[in-house]
A and B are shown apart, each in its own frame.
Chain A
Amino acid sequence: MSKKIFIATILILAIALIMTGCPKKTVMKEEPSVKKEEAAAAAKADAESKATESKAKEDFEKSMVAKKTPGIEGEVFESSLLKDVHFDFDKYDIRPADATILKANADLLKKYHKVKIQIEGHCDERGTVEYNLALGERRANSARNYLVSIGVSPERVSTISYGKERPLDPAHNEEAWTKNRRAHTIITSK
């Protein structure tokens, strides 16, 4: 984190110097050696930052797995870097530990402005089809509202409720139910 801040600071300074410095040739003449060093460092930092960013972008893109579902139109992508959040039985509020997960998802989305996502609300098998569809709708919207509250543009996030129709684990026990009460993120557009 501190390394990133350092690089970013250098970058900002370099840009500031370039912008303010360039037209004023006299200033540049006064401290030529310092300027050269700083410019070199800035260029290096810039290149490193770009490399890091492009690697991360590559990693994110690499992590995207295309997914087509029979009977549901369109191709979407799933990324292991966008993590699920989970819910208590019959609840749709974001638990504090899951807020951290959503923050990480939001950080990733802020880096890649083009990416659009859909949050799927899922439920465990207990209870009725219709009430679980309502609950899934609420869970998807809880996750969406949280992302929007920390700066993700609302236009980039759609929601869908699958109720109890698409369990991650089809088993009929507590362990499966815990896994199945979730908000899952898919990528609808890269």
Chain B
Amino acid sequence: MLKYFFILLSFLIFVSPAESRVYLDINAPTFVQIPIVLAKWKSLEKTPPSFTEKVYEILANDLTLSGFFKVIDVPRLPGSLRETEGIPNTSSLQEWMRAGGEILLAGETLFEPDGLNFKLKFHLFDLVEQRHIAGKQYEGPLPALRSAVHRMADEVVLQITGEKGVTNTKIAYAVAQGTGKEIFIADFDGANVKQITKNQSINLSPAWSPDGKKIAFTSYLKRNPDLYLVDTDGKNLKLFSRYPGLNVSPSWSPDGKKIALMMGMQGKSDIFLIDTDGGNPTRLTKSHGNEASPTWSPDGERIAFVSDRSGAPQIYIMARDGSSVRRLTFEGSYNTNPSWSPKGDRIAFCGRAEGRFQIFTIGTDGSGLRRMTSDSGSNESPSWSPDGRYIAFSSTRAGASKIFIMNANGFNQRALTSSKGGESSPAWSRRFE
């Protein structure tokens, strides 16, 4: 799939000369979703209506999943949007306000059944101010269609929120099968579910390499929890850390040169650093406690981790050489699974409250503790999206454990796939483009 990205062309047709504006401050703890009118798309020439409907469907789903929009379907064509020298005519935007939206998204497709390439074009309008915001055209070969629509959705998110969306990202996770667990990957929208391991062993805690090409995970194939590397298509399985005892919970340094992990060489779990060829293990933690779940700060200078040195598991932060250790969490008696936001300012973690496990976030200075989940199930293993605006986690709220995604403020919680469950340990990839 990756090779198509190189031949996928896109170019900006027009951006309004007015200053770029942020319609939605998604960094606010609460925000109201922007009502966006999604007009029916036009099929040019011999484009089959089913093709256009597919584009519309993927786009509408992406915008809904982003959590930033309230999508209003309007099944009619924006007939008044005739282009004059590439600039859409906005003289009759008034009628679209009746649909109840603040933004109008319209578009057209061109794909002839006997052709190889498609063309997609969208325009975005501000209905309140009656002006054109932006428009873009995309073209590429048919297999790149889904990716092109995702890029379009990301562009719409950029125009409205000031930062690109993450629809071209993937989530790796473990799925219980038989007596073991296998590693799977799915797209942000739950499409393209792929099984990466098929070895019947216990395969745990997948972690993406920063370049998005490899996944590190733990497997019991050789009757020890060893660390393996595998390509995202399941090929080139390589054993690379098999020290006696634990080799689990890998976390790649942002520069891709080191992996922090839990190792059991001392007869208990400690945080170690190893090279990406498995060599040079260096112990970072020196306490008598159990140390678990390392996660890097985005600048690669610090590592957050779990330690029960105080008697119960709590989140700690240390410098990458193991010095300057300080305790981050003080509320609650069981805080684990830290995940450092790519924006650097917050750490998500799993904490026990009223006997249940819930997702929390906290500032890296220990201030601003916020609870993100409150349902009756168990919510674990938070993992941030690369833009820091979403958190994936596992939840048993509907029975069997499933991967969920929510906006970083806790809104818009939804299951990733329609599977029957048994999912755990989500890990969010970088953007693929």
Complex-state Cα separation, A68 to B365, whole angstroms: 49
* Shortest CB distance B199–A (Å): 5
Stretch at the interface among B98-106, B122-130, B185-193, B215-223: B215-223
CB-CB under 8 A from A70, the residues of chain B are 178-180, 200-201
| B350 contacts chain A at the CB level, 8 A cutoff | yes
* Shortest CB distance A46–B (Å): 41
A129-B205, A134-B292 known; A141 vs B268 contact (CB < 8 Å): yes
**Chain A residue with the shortest CB-CB distance to B425:** A129
Which residues of A (127-183) have their CB < 8 Å from a CB of B? Answer: 127-131, 133-135, 137-138, 141, 145, 158-162, 165-166
Which residues of A (90-134) have their CB < 8 Å from a CB of B? Answer: 90, 118, 126-131, 133-134
| B248 contacts chain A at the CB level, 8 A cutoff | yes
| A72 contacts chain B at the CB level, 8 A cutoff | yes
| A30 contacts chain B at the CB level, 8 A cutoff | no
CB-CB under 8 A from B262, the residues of chain A are 130, 133-134
| A37 contacts chain B at the CB level, 8 A cutoff | no
Complex-state Cα separation, A60 to B248, whole angstroms: 35
Q: How large is the interface on A (under 10, 10 to 19, 20 to 34, 35 or more residues)?
A: 20 to 34
CB-CB under 8 A from A134, the residues of chain B are 246, 262, 268-269, 290-292, 306
* Shortest CB distance B380–A (Å): 5
| B313 contacts chain A at the CB level, 8 A cutoff | yes
Complex-state Cα separation, A70 to B249, whole angstroms: 23
Is A72 touching B293 in the complex (CB atoms < 8 A)?
A: no
CB-CB under 8 A from B178, the residues of chain A are 70
Complex-state Cα separation, A11 to B201, whole angstroms: 51
CB-CB under 8 A from B159, the residues of chain A are none
Q: Can you name 14 extra interface pairs (CB under 8 A) apart from A72-B222, A129-B425, A145-B267?
A: A70-B179, A71-B201, A90-B313, A127-B334, A128-B350, A133-B246, A134-B269, A134-B306, A137-B246, A137-B269, A138-B269, A161-B246, A162-B220, A165-B181
Name A residues whose Cβ lies closer than 8 Å to a Cβ of B. Answer: 69-74, 90, 118, 126-131, 133-135, 137-138, 141, 145, 158-162, 165-166
Give me 20 A-to-B residue pairs in the complex whose CB atoms sit less than 8 angstroms apart, sorted by A's number: A71-B202, A72-B201, A72-B202, A73-B223, A90-B308, A129-B381, A129-B424, A130-B262, A130-B336, A133-B204, A133-B246, A133-B248, A133-B249, A134-B246, A160-B225, A160-B245, A161-B225, A161-B264, A165-B204, A166-B179
